Every structure is written in structure tokens, then in C-alpha cells.
Structure 1
Amino acid sequence: MKREHGNKIYWSREPIAFNNLVYEDNQRPFMLPKDDQKWDAHAVETTSYALLVFVARDGIGILQENIVRFLAVMRELDGGLISTLDSVVAMEALVEYSYRARLRDVTDMRVTIEHSSDPNFTVDVQIDNTQRLAELRSFDLNNIYGHISVVGHGSGQALVQLDYSYGVDLAHQLDFPPVNSFEFNVYSQFYGRNNSHLRFTACQRWTYTEESETSGVAVVEMHLPSGYYVMQDDLIRLVQSRKVRNLRWAYRTTTQVKFFFNHLDTERTCVSYEVERWHPVANHSRYNMARVYDLYQPERFNMTLMEVYPLYDLDLCEVCGSYQCPYCPFYSSAPPQPPPTLLVLLLLVLVLLLRSAADGDL
């Protein structure tokens, strides 16, 4: 269904709530993050097909520009929008729009970015029709608080995007899905002298049967505690063993382990794997993040916290496991034990007997 919101036009089964504006300080508008909506991926893919049709049939006009504004607002990744399928169609539509609108010929603009918490941070980006037109310009922010001011001058179109992440330790601070789609539980087992081995088990199932009997391609992401590691070969053997229903691939990054399922149904599917400590790390966070989501509809997800209190409770000496570690002279050490009395007496008698035998020989 075609819908309009301000200067944005899109097609979606339900209305989509966009970024809210808050007026603070001197009544300047501040844009807030957009929440996940029920039909984000579908709306992007459908609207992208519509843009292809309108550009091919009618060329460039106000309607096409308003559709592009919607796609720009829905962009959540550096290299795409919501997921894979909608991103492919959206990129094709945006490239066709850019070619028809001759944006390369008219683009000549300067964008100024300022950060309120760092008065010395000011970036001027020149965007023109040279070979660097499509080059990504990225900048790191040092003090992550306050607000960012963006001012553009000139002609053309440019996209400014803010990428940020943060950690939480309380369940109510997690992101919640627009609809409950998955049941997700994570269990952990710690063993070894200083919890050097961990076994995680993730159990999940599809619950949104009002939409379909099963999910699409499902992904389970598990955060790796700092210093712990799992071999890719072990994950491949787990997949090839066919012991986990519908598990088709698994791989690890520097911070996560990911499992890919053909689909999840209403029966619980559990996957278990073991990680080992490769590097001694103390002062762990008490919670790690885990989530399950539909690959082609990421708004269908469930997120939970994995509690790793035994790691959180370890101090540096327990992790290192030796009195040779810095500031750990007390670890694995003990006062010298006095020699046993009986052994001393036996040695004394033996010495006396040997001496007597030596005197008799003389």
C-alpha cells in the first residue's frame, strides 16, 4: 500500500514510524534513533521496486526524490539498508536514480561536521564530481556524548550517517523487537581450575506462527568473552556432524560466533560449543550479549544477556594461575615444610654407624 509521511513516499503493509525530533536548548531540532518496525525489510524492498518502475517509466521528478528520501532514512548499514535482499534491490534502484538524475554532473558541495563535546573537532568534506565522488569518508569521535551538527552547502545529494554502539548490563535496557518472534535461552557451563573452559548452549525456536509456520534463514550470534577462542575447524566439524537440526554453517569472528540455520520451527533447536582461554584476561564484564534473528527480516529478533559471573569474579592472579605473575607472590606459594623427625633420626643413626665403622677400620 502506498503511504506518505511528510516528504517521504513508501509502500508498506503498515505505517512506519520514522526518527523523532526533539527540540532542546535553543529550540534546535535533534534527530533521535529510529526503532525497529514490523515491516522494515519488506517496505524497503517493495519501495525499491517501485522506484525502479517510476524511474524507468517517468524519469526523475518530485515523486522519485521523495522515494529516495525514504530509502535514505531506512539505511542502517554502511554497505546496505536493512538486510541482504532489500539492500540489493535498493542499491540497484538508487544507482539507476543517480544515473538518470545526472547527480555526478551537478554535485559540488561542502559538508561541515561539528561535535559539541569536542570544540576542536571540525571536519569540512568537499564532495564534487571527481573520481572521489563515491568514496566513503569516515571520522572517529573521541568523546561520545553531546550532539553532532551537520551543515551542507552547494548542490547535489549526500548521505551523512552515524554509527555507534554501546553495552548494557540490565535486561530492560536491551532492544526489544516489534513482535515476539523467537524464544531464546542461553546456558553456560564453566570448568577447569580457573574456568579456562566454557561450554555455551543456545536453544531457540520460532514463535510467531501467525505469520508463518517457520522462520526464514535464522542466525544465532553469541559474543565471545575476552581472551577466549574457538577454532573454526571445530565449528565446521559441528556443522558436518549433522547433530543439530537445520544447522548449515557456523563461523567465528574476533568477537562473535555465528550459527546459520535453514529455518527454525516451533520445536526447540539447541546448539552447543566449547571455548577455551587463549589469553589471560581479568576484570571481565558480568554479561555478554546473544541474539537470534531472521537474516532477511532482522526486525524479527530476540536478544538476551549471557551471565558469566564466574569470569567476572576472577581476579588477575587466579587468571594467571602462578606466583610468578606480577603482584601475585602469594599465589601457589607455601612456607617451607620442616623435615620429618623420623627421617632426621634415621639419618643421624646412619651417620653414627658409618663413623663407627670407619673408626674400627682405622
Structure 2
Amino acid sequence: MRMHDGGFISTVDTLVALQALTEYSYRARLRDITDMRVNVEATGEIGRASHSVVISNTSVSKMNLIPIQNVWGLVNVVAHGAGQAILQLDVSYGVDWTPLKKQPPVDAFELEVREFYTPFGNKSHCNIKVCARWINYKEAEQSSATVIEIEVPTGYVAFQIDLERSIHEAQITKTFPSLRDVIGGHGDVFAKKTVWFFDYIPSNKSCFTYLMKRWYPVANLTNVRMATIYELYQP
């Protein structure tokens, strides 16, 4: 996946960077000398106390999360002490007007996502149909390893067991045989999106369907949701 909390831009980048940082920490004996205090202050939270994080040699592997309530302005970070730490800022937003969306350098995929709500039970179930195909024929006849991320509507949950059943069905029926794995919701953990992993995306249009279930009612659901497709090892 890309842009995941606690990592770098992609899986491969994260593995290489963490290995390099680990080797460096051994040689610089960072674990022995680490004793830091990091103060984080957002201009959108003027009047509130700054967030303070203490990093010692017993908590170097602990990830600290700081929620920022008012998202605007600047984030000022001041660190005191000795050691090394990685700071990451996670920002997300929706764009519902096509001309404002970021465009890829090359049109490599066609992606279509459609939602079908059940007419009974106050839309308690929703079947999502996902279709994709590779169109960048100048580069290759099919893509390399690919990821599709699809946002889950508020109030709904896509359980892992239901998603894995969709993978099995896509492989048995050969509607999408390259579909390999998925990350969804587990028990009471509500994932904000489902993440699907493929060995490749073929040049012919291929589709699969998965199920979401309503967990609690929400009024005025938005008609706009985010779906992203990208090659795992490409920019």
C-alpha cells in the first residue's frame, strides 16, 4: 500500500528505509542515547496546550498519534535531547469536481466502481461491483502487481470474512483470477477503506463483487467516495 501511517510512500520504500535506519541506529548506538522530548503545536489550536511526546530508550519503537482538531495553518515541531525520530503528517480530503482532481502522468488503468443497495431493510446491505483493466499498452500488455483502494461509506463495514469469500469466488469463476488478497474490517475494527491486492491487471475488462453491511444508520450519505488504483512498485 501507499501513504500508510507508520511507513514511507510504498511497501518497498518502507522496507528499504527501515532496514537502513536500523543499521544506522546499531552503528550510532541510538537506542542507548535516546532521550528526547518533542513538542508539537498547531496554529489551528491557538489557546490550547501543545502536544508533548517523550521518547526514551525503552519506547523507541512505540508510535505516538497526535490528533489535530482544527486543520489549517502551520504545525510547529521542536525537539530537545538526543536521538532520532521520524515525524509523519497524515492529511486526507475529498475532491468531488473532476477538473480539480490530480491526474496521473500516464493513463494506465480504467476503473469503475458501482454500488447496489438492497431495496429492503433500509439499505442494510450493499454490493460493490469493481471493474478494472490495463490500457497502457505502450509499456506492457498487462500491469505488474497492483493495488485498488476503495473507501467504505460511513455507517457501513466490510468484514474480512466476506471480502475473502469474494476473492475465492473471483478465482473459482475466473472473473478476476489475479485477485490475491484483501485488507478489510476485523470484528469491531472498522476499516475506512478496503485494500485489494492483485498479481496483475489484465487488458480485458475484469470484475468482482464484494459485500458491505450497515452497522449503524447515517443520514444524508454523500454520493462521492474515493477509489484509487496504482501499481505497487511504480511511482
TM interval, short-chain normalised = 0.7 to 0.9
The number of residues matched between the two structures is 224
Aligned alpha-carbon RMSD (Å): 2.9
1:257 equivalent to 2:184? Answer no
Relative to structure 1, the CA distance from residue 126 to residue 197 in structure 2 (aligned partners, 3 Å threshold; closer, same or farther) is: closer
Q: Within 5 Å, give how 1:192-341 maps onto structure 2.
A: 192-193=119-120, 194-241=122-169, 242-243=172-173, 244-245=175-176, 246-253=178-185, 254=190, 255-297=192-234, 299=235
Structure 1 residue 195: deviation in Å? 4.3
Structure 2's unaligned 5+ residue stretches are none
Task: Determine if contact 1:190/1:197 at 8 Å carries over to the other structure.
Answer: yes
Local SS of the residue matching 1:117: helix
CA deviations over 1:3-29 (Å, ceiling 9, x no partner): xxxxxxxxxxxxxxxxxxxxxxxxxxx
Q: How far apart are the structure 2 equivalents of 1:162 and 1:229?
A: 26
Task: Determine if contact 1:81/1:87 at 8 Å carries over to the other structure.
Answer: yes
Local SS of the residue matching 2:20: helix
Q: Within 5 Å, give how 1:71-110 maps onto structure 2.
A: 76-110=3-37
Structure 1's unaligned 5+ residue stretches are 1-40, 42-74, 300-362
Determine the structure 1 residue equivalent to 2:45.
Answer: 118
Q: TM-score, normalised by structure 2?
A: 0.78
Task: Determine if contact 1:115/1:121 at 8 Å carries over to the other structure.
Answer: no
Q: Within 5 Å, give how 1:138-153 maps onto structure 2.
A: 138-153=65-80
Structure 1 residue 163: deviation in Å? 1.7
Local SS of the residue matching 2:226: strand
Structure 1 residue 230: deviation in Å? 4.7
Which one has a larger percent helix, Structure 1 or Structure 2?
Answer: 1
Relative to structure 1, the CA distance from residue 113 to residue 187 in structure 2 (aligned partners, 3 Å threshold; closer, same or farther) is: closer
CA deviations over 1:330-349 (Å, ceiling 9, x no partner): xxxxxxxxxxxxxxxxxxxx
Task: Determine if contact 2:113/2:131 at 8 Å carries over to the other structure.
Answer: yes
CA deviations over 1:243-292 (Å, ceiling 9, x no partner): 22222234532233333222112111111234444533222112111122
Q: Which moved more, 1:239-248 or 1:274-283?
A: 274-283
Q: How far apart are the structure 1 equivalents of 2:160 and 2:37?
A: 46
Q: How far apart are the structure 2 equivalents of 1:189 and 1:183?
A: 20
Local SS of the residue matching 2:225: strand
Relative to structure 1, the CA distance from residue 292 to residue 117 in structure 2 (aligned partners, 3 Å threshold; closer, same or farther) is: same
Q: 2:116 aligns with which of 189, 193, 198?
A: 189
Q: Tell me which amino acid in the other structure corresponds to 1:247.
A: L
Structure 1 residue 162: deviation in Å? 1.4
Q: Within 5 Å, give how 1:14-163 maps onto structure 2.
A: 76-119=3-46, 120-128=48-56, 130-163=57-90
Q: Tell me which amino acid in the other structure corresponds to 2:16.
A: V
Q: Tell me which amino acid in the other structure corresponds to 2:198.
A: F
Task: Determine if contact 2:125/2:214 at 8 Å carries over to the other structure.
Answer: yes
Relative to structure 1, the CA distance from residue 211 to residue 121 in structure 2 (aligned partners, 3 Å threshold; closer, same or farther) is: farther
Q: TM-score, normalised by structure 1?
A: 0.54
Q: How far apart are the structure 2 equivalents of 1:229 and 1:76?
A: 22
Q: Tell me which amino acid in the other structure corresponds to 1:280.
A: P
The one of the two structures with greater contact order (alpha-carbon pairs below 8 A, sep at least 6) is 2
Local SS of the residue matching 1:137: coil
Q: How far apart are the structure 2 equivalents of 1:190 and 1:272?
A: 13
